[in-house]
Structure 1
Amino acid sequence: MARKIGSRYTAHQILGRGSAGTVWLGEGPDGPVAVKLLREDLASDQDLVGRFVQERSALLGLDHPHIVSVRDLVVDGNDLALVMDLVRGTDLRTRLDRERRLAPEAAVAITADVADALAAAHAAGVVHRDVKPENVLLDMQGPLGPGGAHPALLTDFGVAKLIDTPKRIGAAAGASGRASATATRIIGTPDYLAPEIVEGLPPRAAVDIYALATVLYELLAGFTPFGGGHPGAVLRRHVTETVVPLPGIPEELWQLIVQCLAKGPASRLRASELSARLRDLLPMLAGMPPLDVDEPDDAEPEPEQAREAPAAPARRRGAVPLVPGSATDSNRDTHTSMRVPGPEELAGGALGTARVPRPAGGHRPGSARHRADTVRRRRLVLSAGAVALAAAVGVGGWLASSDGDDGPQPPASKNSAPPKP
């Protein structure tokens, strides 16, 4: 059912639903467009509308082949909408869900495109703050690049930051019972958050580089380096753990990933440097198949739970709805706004075990499931020993009772040891 968006645009059909609103296929004066219509409760928030209007020039000013451009901002009654370029294709998350992981050449080509987009945005003073596969669109009508990769375009610049209003922050903090006058919040998707954001520092361009390196790791491995489980545990891993190596990729590519996942922002590359170095690596990746890496366990139950509870089903990582209690949406337009953990929370938990890929057919060494398997194996060994002992006692009793039946028995040697239990 068609609906008017302002005086210049008509929305014809829904392309996807997100926790922030709905994306429509629309028509404008210059042809087809994508219209991101925010939820009514967001559109009725005058503070939010004011910030969108203030950011209008920044939103409209980003013009790059690998950025989904915002053409217009519509504020009309209860409608607050971003009018954007229409990309004929799908998002990177959908491709990952279908293929699990990509060949290194295609993964690096897509990442280089996104790095180009970030270089342009950072040069304009804009930090994305929510780089993730859901916000990377693949243009299926564009020319194929290295590894058969479709051109990648980055979308939703600044949307997560704008939607997270101080009023909602205060309400959420108050509901948790831990609000304070200096409370700060985390904006972004947990799997892709740079350590400095977790520690409460202001986000600079380097946070986008960290997130993009996390995306590249995910494209190669099929899982993120620090994801899985409760968002708080994910945040702690970003600060305390080191990334587990991926076997089977050139050392030059691995060192590039490690540098961009450095805990210190100053150690990471700039977006333009990352793009150039990734493209330099493309020739050595030609024809390389996707990596054969088993995904680590998602859940880490407590040891006492692991002994009794069956393994929990796997869950897709990185999907924390914008609205508490809402389900993951079809286009996975999600992010989280969380209180910054304190030092004691960040220091808690075991280090260095949560992200080790498990061997094929088994669980990761040190994981709760691995410990539970070990306990079960020990119980089986003890049970087998008990059965053997009972059998030995039974045989001994039968021999003792049969002495008179079979005639005299030879005397026991004084050097014979008593039977071991």
Structure 2
Amino acid sequence: MNDTWNVPGYAEVDVLGTGGFGRVVLAKHEATGKMAAIKYLRADFLADARIVAGFRQEAWLLSGVRSPHVVRLFDFVETPQGAALVMEAVPGVSLRALLVAENVLAPEAALAILKGSLLGLADAHAAGVVHRDYKPGNVLVSREGESKLVDFGLATLDGHNGLTAGSPAYMAPEQWAGQPGRPATDVYAATCVFYQCVTGHRPFEADTSEQLRALHGTAAVPLEAVPEPLRPLIARGMAKDPAWRPATADAFVTELEAVARETYGKNWEKRGWKRLATSAAALTALTPLALLTAAGTAAAPVAAAGAGAGVTAGVSGTGVTAAMVGKIAAAVAIAGGLVAGGLVILRSGEDPPPPPAALSVAVQTLSGRDPALPISYELQYPQVSGGADAAVRQRVNDALRAPIDKRLKSVRDGVAVPSTLEQIRQAGETAAMRSSARVLLQKPGLLSVHYEHDLDSDVLGHATWRFPEALSVDLTTGQVLGPQDVFRPEILTVAGMRTLTQRLAPHTRNGFCTVPTVVGDTERQVTMDAADRPGGGDHVPAATFGFTAAGAEFDILWYELGCATAAGNETVVLPYDELDDLLQPKFRTMLGRTAPAASSAPPSTSEKPGAGTTYTNARFGFTTQVPPGYTASSWVPENGEGMRFTRDDLGATLTVWGTNSGGRRPADELARLVASTEGDGGRVTFRTADSEGYAVSGYLGDGRIFYEHTSIGAGSTAGLRWVYPADRKTELDGPVTDTVKAFTPGDLSRPH
């Protein structure tokens, strides 16, 4: 192993930079003359499985981020001789070099750079990726007036790695503490860089890392050097508690643009880039990237031909499409399964992935004091770790933390009311918030949690500041389960809510109260129907609810139903023998419960055709799993037959078929399909073929994701194809994966 290995098909032009783990070079593709930036891993590290896995992870993460504000990944190449990322070459300079030359940037220029890179972070966050190492060296400023993010080497999807890693000058307090990386963590780092741009120095500087950690953790942001109009923006972005920062980079862009327009006028961005253009062009002219004007950048991925024995050559498409031997395929499959709409399938002979760590739950505590208001807080919330799907795990953790984030905001808003704030200050008190959290039930696909919120304050002494709440999360999707996911449709009606009220009443302390109406009229009894509350609503339970091993806990806030405020709240448990027949069959399965016994509940409606079934074709013998809620219809291909399953509310279609067209070469069929897709304006992001068939995925010309898996035998063929909107990817990843795993092609050795 040595550092002279080059990606086959590329000629090195010049070195763009070197670092502890490798080098980045400008290279020309010999067949087309297009330029690309290639990041090589140092040969010393090829034997270090941990470092190589991290390099693969960077490739996989970059492949899932599609943004004009993030440097594109064209190919990942790994052979026994070396490993490299082939990336877009951008004619520009790093923000670090720009700051060395300029020291301080005009506010409009700094805001323009921040906006572009924040948009890149926003697109990464939308793909479930947290960068964790935003710094001037990782922001490229082009001559054309745009900024792009680079280097996702520390990025993570899981939001729970426990690793204190990053660039210390820009690390958020939670990152110093080894807590999960969140979008708000990137917002903090970006704000630190923005501070440096407008002041000429970093917000905190120290001689030791411990001193720097203390400053980021407890010291007030030194805003005196910041232009007055920008101080609130920086104070928000660098709040010690991530709950006080903009929750996402996208939200921060909205705030940034509002401040910029109000302070610098509607043309602020154009003026900002105009100020940067001369410096960026002059600095770029001094680097090898000046060659890009003549040679052109790589406008599309280029195959790495002849990469080495046992390695599949790369193919066209944006994303990771080049040589991936057994272990890289395993690493990608472990990392997430669906990559930019493509499903990675391990073929025979490849190393099987180790099983993912089991999902576990631990209760975390967020504590501190508000920097501006007399509020202290000690708030518990559950957090999950382990599991196979990092993006789902992040969604679960976001859902589990949401109640305390909402609680923080509500108390802060209440205390910030001028009259209330004055009373609290006159009383010399600090409103002390507390929230406790306990796990009610954990099943393989379900987590149910109960929160108890409390507040110590003489001024805010009203009972409504103290209440319980519960939520349940689908651990396979990260979705918070609402009434429509839990109860049968006929229960979410006037009659159904009346049934629920009748069953809950005997378990309450004093039954459901009555409230007076017009003088002389009969008093009205409150119910569990949210539509009966003051203000109305849908026919759903007017309480949050969670699930235990014994039954469901309903957290009833009597004052919200119309009872006297003094009635307070009550947690009422409804046993499963009185609840089972009200629940959706799918949800009963999540609870691990069997079909209910007969009861007085309204009759159930029938499932949609094809819902939650296994379909087997009698003629060709292929079999597939059909997700719940899909409607079946006949689909007849040439010289064969099949079935199409659709779900209109998701815009998703699953098609399965068999044909008497065996004996073909899978690689030839795959090439024809790729050419047809790209000829229609689509884009292939993954493809693979062997002697038994092929798999391919990507985007159609209209932007929808497609995935096709076809098995080809000597006498016949069987296939499966999914098509669905890109914005439904998150909720369809699981069903797509399940159907692919369950698909069996039948006997392909003969015609049918």
Normalising by the smaller structure, the TM-score range is: 0.5 to 0.7
Q: CA deviation at 1:247?
A: 4.4
1:120 matched residue in structure 2: 123
Alignment pair present for 1:156 and 2:151: yes
C-alpha distance in 1 between matches for 2:86 and 2:240:
37
Q: Which amino acid in structure 1 is aligned with residue 154 of structure 2?
A: A
**Secondary structure, counterpart of 1:203 in structure 2:** coil
Identity, % of aligned positions: 36
Q: CA deviation at 1:185?
A: 4.1
1:130 matched residue in structure 2: 133
Q: Give the alignment of 1:1-400 within 5 angstroms.
A: 5-28=6-29, 31-53=34-56, 56-140=59-143, 142=144, 150-157=145-152, 159-160=153-154, 185-247=163-225, 249-251=227-229, 253-269=230-246, 270-283=248-261, 284-285=263-264
C-alpha distance in 1 between matches for 2:245 and 2:123:
17
C-alpha distance in 2 between matches for 1:209 and 1:184:
19
Q: CA deviation at 1:237?
A: 0.8
Q: Which amino acid in structure 2 is aligned with residue 211 of structure 1?
A: A
Q: Write out per-residue CA displacement over residues 105-124 of structure 1, whole angstroms, 9 at most, x where no aligned residue.
A: 10011001111001000000
Q: Which amino acid in structure 2 is aligned with residue 10 of structure 1?
A: A
Q: What is the root-mean-square deviation in Å for CA atoms of aligned residues?
A: 2.5
C-alpha distance in 2 between matches for 1:55 and 1:92:
22
Q: Write out per-residue CA displacement over residues 299-357 of structure 1, whole angstroms, 9 at most, x where no aligned residue.
A: xxxxxxxxxxxxxxxxxxxxxxxxxxxxxxxxxxxxxxxxxxxxxxxxxxxxxxxxxxx
8 Å Cα contact 2:111/2:256 also seen in 1: yes
Q: Which amino acid in structure 2 is aligned with residue 255 of structure 1?
A: P
C-alpha distance in 2 between matches for 1:84 and 1:19:
19
1:355 matched residue in structure 2: none
Q: CA deviation at 1:39?
A: 1.7
C-alpha distance in 2 between matches for 1:245 and 1:234:
17
8 Å Cα contact 1:109/1:279 also seen in 2: no
C-alpha distance in 1 between matches for 2:103 and 2:53:
41
Worse overlay, 275-284 or 18-27: 275-284
8 Å Cα contact 1:6/1:76 also seen in 2: no
Q: Which amino acid in structure 2 is aligned with residue 261 of structure 1?
A: M
| Cα pair distance change 1:193/1:248, threshold 3 Å | closer
Q: Which amino acid in structure 1 is aligned with residue 235 of structure 2?
A: V
TM-score calculated relative to the size of structure 1? 0.57
Q: Which amino acid in structure 2 is aligned with residue 155 of structure 1?
A: V
8 Å Cα contact 1:109/1:278 also seen in 2: no
Q: CA deviation at 1:248?
A: 6.0
Q: CA deviation at 1:47?
A: 3.2
8 Å Cα contact 1:37/1:80 also seen in 2: yes
Q: Write out per-residue CA displacement over residues 368-403 of structure 1, whole angstroms, 9 at most, x where no aligned residue.
A: xxxxxxxxxxxxxxxxxxxxxxxxxxxxxxxxxxxx
Q: CA deviation at 1:3?
A: 6.0
C-alpha distance in 1 between matches for 2:53 and 2:167:
25
C-alpha distance in 2 between matches for 1:61 and 1:185:
22
C-alpha distance in 1 between matches for 2:106 and 2:235:
19
C-alpha distance in 2 between matches for 1:56 and 1:95:
27
C-alpha distance in 1 between matches for 2:235 and 2:226:
15
Aligned residues: 258
C-alpha distance in 1 between matches for 2:89 and 2:80:
24
* Higher relative contact order (Cα pairs below 8 Å, separated by 6+ residues): 1
| Cα pair distance change 1:246/1:114, threshold 3 Å | farther
C-alpha distance in 1 between matches for 2:163 and 2:66:
30
1:345 matched residue in structure 2: none
**Secondary structure, counterpart of 1:280 in structure 2:** helix
1:365 matched residue in structure 2: none
Q: Which amino acid in structure 2 is aligned with residue 152 of structure 1?
A: S
Unaligned 5+ segments in structure 1 are: 143-149, 163-182, 291-421
8 Å Cα contact 2:38/2:84 also seen in 1: yes
C-alpha distance in 1 between matches for 2:55 and 2:19:
18
Q: Which amino acid in structure 2 is aligned with residue 6 of structure 1?
A: V
8 Å Cα contact 1:36/1:83 also seen in 2: yes
Q: CA deviation at 1:234?
A: 0.8
Q: CA deviation at 1:201?
A: 1.1
Unaligned 5+ segments in structure 2 are: 276-752
Q: CA deviation at 1:70?
A: 1.4
Q: CA deviation at 1:21?
A: 1.4
**Secondary structure, counterpart of 1:126 in structure 2:** coil
